[in-house]
Amino acid sequence: MTATPLLSLLACFVAAFAAYRLYTAYKLRLAAQQHGCQSPTRYKHKDPVFGLDIFLRTGDAITKNQFLVEHQRRYDTYGHTFEALNFGSRAIYSVHPENIRAVFSKNAADWGVQPLRLRNMSPFCGMGFITTDGSDWKLSHDLLKPSFHKSNISDFGPLEEHLRILLEQIPKDGSKFDLQPYILRLVCLPNPTYPPSALTHALEYLDLNTLFLFGEPIGILSGTPPSHAEGFLDAFQAGFNGCGLRIALGPLNLLMPKGAWLKACDKVHKFANVYVDRAIKYRNKISSLEYSQDKTDQRTLLFNMAQKTDDRTILRNQTVQAMMASTETTASLISHVIRNLASNPTICAHVRAEVLALGDAPLDFDQLPRIKSLQHVITETLRLYPVFPQNNRISLKDTILPAGGGSDGTAPVFAPAGTLFDTSFSTLHRDPKIWGPDANEFRPSRWENDYSPPPFTFMPFGAGPRQCLAQQKATMETSYIISRILQEFSEIKSEDEKPYQAQVALTAKSAHGCLVSLTPAAGKIVE
Ligand code: HEM
């Protein structure tokens, strides 16, 4: 292209952008008149046109494990609600509970994720509960929901089997080691970048995840992974990371090469299709009369979905998205709980005493919630270290946020279609106005006497229609694993001398792991 057409194209782009900005400003003024809306405090950009400075600052904070600190700093500077530019469009950042209520619950239909996610993630995981809104989202939600029924998630047998492998592998001579990679391997898809020692049995851990998703452990029973699983872990991670990067880069992702990413997506599809085809075959073999959630081979997420559809693409997309939702989520929670117990010996001893008081009988689904001190530790961990520390939505139509406008932040704020709403659960969960002067302290006793915080101030599993379907599964598995570790070890000692830092990708985990040393209890299996 020669210089003149290029300049004309640029001029057209600038003119269109200026017109868009004028139109938005006009709509904002009109709404202010009609609904008493006012603008929130403005972020002081160095780049007042596209706001690329905030994008670069965020990127820098992520690489330095300072993402959560950076967000906290912005809210400390600008207050609970402020507006900023997101690649030239308007974004509203807010941790005001009334705004969170409006976006995630009361006016949830006005807000969505599809414009943010579908185009950027589609080659990896297509349309599903993570990438769509409205009736497409509802279809996915209804397909998935039955799999999280109590009858599907209350058998701890497979978890115990895998936990025993973990207990056999970890050092038990009181030496310092990082427990986090072991936990990540236990309950989720392991990341191929973890240390080789933690990956020796990667496919064993994949077993536990695939057991819930596909109904088939791949690798551990046969000892050798089937050929379709080869290279899958790397492909899954590359595909998943590619989605995150494309979303983070916004319109700039058009400059990103796609070849390797698309190849990784293809590998993941081939892997998932093997299980999808099996589920469809099995579904066709049994009559609906024989279908029962109590039968082990019919209890899986994929088989449950195959009861309702035999569309291969739908089944594959939902399965890949379920794998994404379960990657590093429960594991991050367990690892943070152990870190907190290790750094608080008195609390740890108290929880251990309550666990041991239950005796030697196997722990079951109804008994675990009754270990109150453990539940308080888990809840307090989710408050201070939310697995998803940040979330966002985009307005699908012109709508109003109830708070954050004007000099005192109490006026409503107009959010025209296309406004990004971004919130930080980690900031919300540490707000001294909500949690008191010790908001930053780990104090599980704050949850005693069935304490319940004000609505929309505690959001570890989200809220409203898109709230996590696996909340019970995740908290029960965490309760089980922690209780078993406390049965097996009389002391969990923290060996971490550095202050906590969160490593944030989609989820947050401890940047320097979970450094502990363990003292085995007398007469236990790990001896
Ligand atoms: C401690 C572990 C977990 C935490 C803290 C967590 C948190 C969340 C949050 C915050 C959301 C809402 C997302 C949004 O509003 O945009 C969500 C949704 C969801 N999570 Fe989880 N999650 C966890 C584990 C899991 C696991 C293991 C699965 C298993 C597949 C899972 C499946 C889902 C599903 C299906 C949804 C979407 C529900 C819908 O849109 O209908 N989660 N989760």
pLDDT in tens, 8-26: 877 777 777 777 767 766 7
| Ligand 1 nearest atom to the CA of residue 140, by list position | 41
Distance 136 CA to ligand 1 centre (A): 17
Q: Looking at the predicted structure, is the pLDDT value of residue 291 above 90?
A: no
Q: Looking at the predicted structure, is the pLDDT value of residue 525 above 70?
A: no
| Ligand 1 nearest atom to the CA of residue 386, by list position | 5
**pLDDT value for 213:** 76
Distance 113 CA to ligand 1 centre (A): 14
**Amino acid letter, residue 236:** F
Residue nearest to ligand 1 atom 23, measured at CA = 329
Rounded to the nearest 10 degrees, the angle between the axes of helix 329-343 and helix 372-384 is 110
Q: Are strands 89-94 and 420-424 parallel, antiparallel or unpaired?
A: parallel
Q: Looking at the predicted structure, is the pLDDT value of residue 289 above 60?
A: no
SS3 state of residue 451:
coil
Q: How far is CA 487 from CA 137, 149, 183, 335, in A?
A: 42, 28, 17, 17
pLDDT in tens, 344-381: 999 999 999 999 999 988 899 999 999 999 999 999 99
| Ligand 1 nearest atom to the CA of residue 333, by list position | 1
Distance 160 CA to ligand 1 centre (A): 23
Longest dimension (CA), the chain: 82
Phi, psi angles (nearest 5°) of residue 7: -65, -40
Ligand 1, CB within 6 Å, residue ranges: 129, 141, 144, 322, 325-326, 329-330, 333, 387-388, 391, 460-462, 466, 468-470, 473-474
**pLDDT value for 197:** 40
Distance 18 CA to ligand 1 centre (A): 39
According to the annotation, is 12 in a ligand binding site? no
Q: Looking at the predicted structure, is the pLDDT value of residue 305 above 80?
A: yes
Which domains are seen in the chain, by residue range? 3-107+387-428 (no CATH), 126-153+195-327 (no CATH), 156-188+328-383+458-527 (1.10.630.10)
pLDDT in tens, 475-500: 999 999 999 999 999 999 999 999 99
Which is more confidently placed, 4 or 460? Answer: 460
**493 closest CA partner among 463, 470, 515, 477:** 515
Distance 478 CA to ligand 1 centre (A): 15
Residue nearest to ligand 1 atom 19, measured at CA = 468
Residue nearest to ligand 1 atom 26, measured at CA = 326
Report the complex ipTM.
0.98
pLDDT, average across residues 211-219: 61
Which is more confidently placed, 343 or 302? Answer: 343
pLDDT, the chain, mean = 87
**Amino acid letter, residue 308:** K
Percentage above 90 pLDDT, the chain:
63
**Amino acid letter, residue 346:** T
Tokens of 462: 């989200």
Residue with the two structure tokens 């005192």: 408
pLDDT in tens, 234-270: 898 899 999 999 998 988 988 889 999 999 999 999 9
Tokens of 88: 């030239």
The answer to whether residues 106 and 403 touch, using CB atoms and an 8 Å cutoff, is: no
pLDDT, average across residues 317-329: 89
Q: Looking at the predicted structure, is the pLDDT value of residue 156 above 60?
A: yes
1 pLDDT tier (thresholds 50, 70, 90): low
* Gap between the Cα atoms of 491 and 497, Å rounded: 18
**pLDDT value for 432:** 97
**pLDDT value for 200:** 37
| Ligand 1 nearest atom to the CA of residue 473, by list position | 27
290 pLDDT tier (thresholds 50, 70, 90): low
| Ligand 1 nearest atom to the CA of residue 104, by list position | 15
pLDDT, average across residues 440-462: 97
